[in-house]
């Protein structure tokens, strides 16, 4: 994402707060009366949210399904582009967004984040052992998903020429086709891409920053936020979170 588009997105997010669409966000009582929890996600970020055939699945999908079930609600998924999800939340298209959003000060100004549901890092995925560090990719063809914290980090550290794509899948395909030297993405997404494409001989490079990932509710929706946090804590305490994490990653990816 170029600097202009970042500004446009931030302004759009800010306007949802200033003009007040978030005021019409459904309360927890209204959600329970309807019996449905509306969740926004992207659906192209394996292993967290992705399609297996026509089935929307992934670690975050299954985790939120557990949360909804414990709250006595049916999960209703709404899929749209990543960089529009928080705007949609402010416009009351969803009650909750679960799509691997890194917690940042700018985002926290316009949405309320839940307790982080996993911790990870932004990493370099490359096709060469010679391009594992940030310095080594500065002059190469770098791809990154639009609207992500990876774009922001690259811009802040002097790499403004990275080519942005709508989805992680697009970035991966450019890597596999030899059109990119490096892809900056999530650690677990990179590991999943390597596992799914063994013949591509992708190389895991350096972790360039770490971050906490959380779900989001509309600004000021305190009762829903508390209910999601309480249920997430319950899942972590009773072992269901750990079991789900182990099934997807072979380890517990909860923040230590």
Number of folded domains in the chain?
Answer: 2
pTM of the model: 0.89
The answer to whether position 80 is within a domain reads yes
> Within this chain, do residues 124 and 101 fall inside the same structural domain, yes or no?
no
Mean pLDDT computed over 177-201: 96
CATH code, 64: 3.40.190.10
Please write the tens of the pLDDT for every residue from 127-152: 999 999 999 999 899 999 999 999 99
pLDDT at position 160: 87
pLDDT at 12 over 90: no
> Within this chain, do residues 232 and 221 fall inside the same structural domain, yes or no?
yes
Q: Tell me the DSSP string of 104-173.
A: -HHHHTTEEE-S-SEEEEEEEEES-GGG-SHHHHTTS-EEEETTSHHHHHHHHTT---PEEESSHHHHHH
The answer to whether position 62 is within a domain reads yes
> Within this chain, do residues 78 and 176 fall inside the same structural domain, yes or no?
no
pLDDT at position 250: 96
Q: What is the mean pLDDT of the chain?
A: 92
> Within this chain, do residues 101 and 142 fall inside the same structural domain, yes or no?
no
The answer to whether position 152 is within a domain reads yes
Q: Up-side HSE of residue 41: CA atoms within 13 Å toward CB? A: 29
Domain range enclosing 141: 120-210
> Within this chain, do residues 81 and 8 fall inside the same structural domain, yes or no?
yes
> Within this chain, do residues 34 and 109 fall inside the same structural domain, yes or no?
yes
Q: How far apart are CA 151 and CA 236, in angstroms?
A: 31
The answer to whether position 255 is within a domain reads no
pLDDT at position 23: 52
> Within this chain, do residues 222 and 189 fall inside the same structural domain, yes or no?
no
């Amino acid at each position: 994402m170029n600097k202009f588009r970042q500004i446009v997105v931030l302004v759009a997010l800010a306007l949802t707060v200033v003009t007040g669409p978030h005021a019409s966000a459904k309360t927890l009582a209204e959600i329970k009366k309807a019996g449905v929890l509306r969740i926004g996600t992207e659906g192209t970020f394996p292993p967290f949210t992705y399609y297996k055939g026509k089935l929307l699945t992934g670690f975050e999908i299954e985790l939120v399904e557990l949360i909804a079930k414990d709250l006595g609600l049916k999960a209703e998924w709404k899929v749209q582009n990543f960089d529009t999800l928080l705007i949609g939340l402010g416009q009351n298209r969803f009650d909750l967004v679960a799509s691997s959003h890194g917690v940042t000060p700018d985002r926290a100004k316009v949405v309320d984040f839940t307790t982080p549901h996993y911790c990870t890092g932004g990493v370099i995925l490359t096709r060469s052992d010679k391009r594992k560090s940030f310095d080594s990719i500065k002059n190469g063809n770098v791809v990154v998903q639009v609207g992500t914290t990876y774009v922001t980090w690259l811009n802040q550290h002097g790499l403004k020429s990275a080519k942005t794509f709508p989805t992680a899948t697009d970035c991966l395909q450019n890597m596999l086709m030899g059109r990119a030297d490096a892809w900056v993405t999530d650690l677990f997404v990179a590991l999943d891409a390597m596992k799914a494409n063994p013949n591509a001989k992708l190389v895991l490079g350096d972790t360039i920053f770490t971050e906490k990932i959380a779900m989001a509710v509309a600004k000021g929706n305190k009762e829903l936020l508390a209910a999601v946090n309480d249920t997430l804590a319950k899942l972590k305490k009773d072992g269901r979170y750990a079991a789900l994490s182990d099934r997807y990653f072979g380890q517990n990816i909860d923040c230590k």
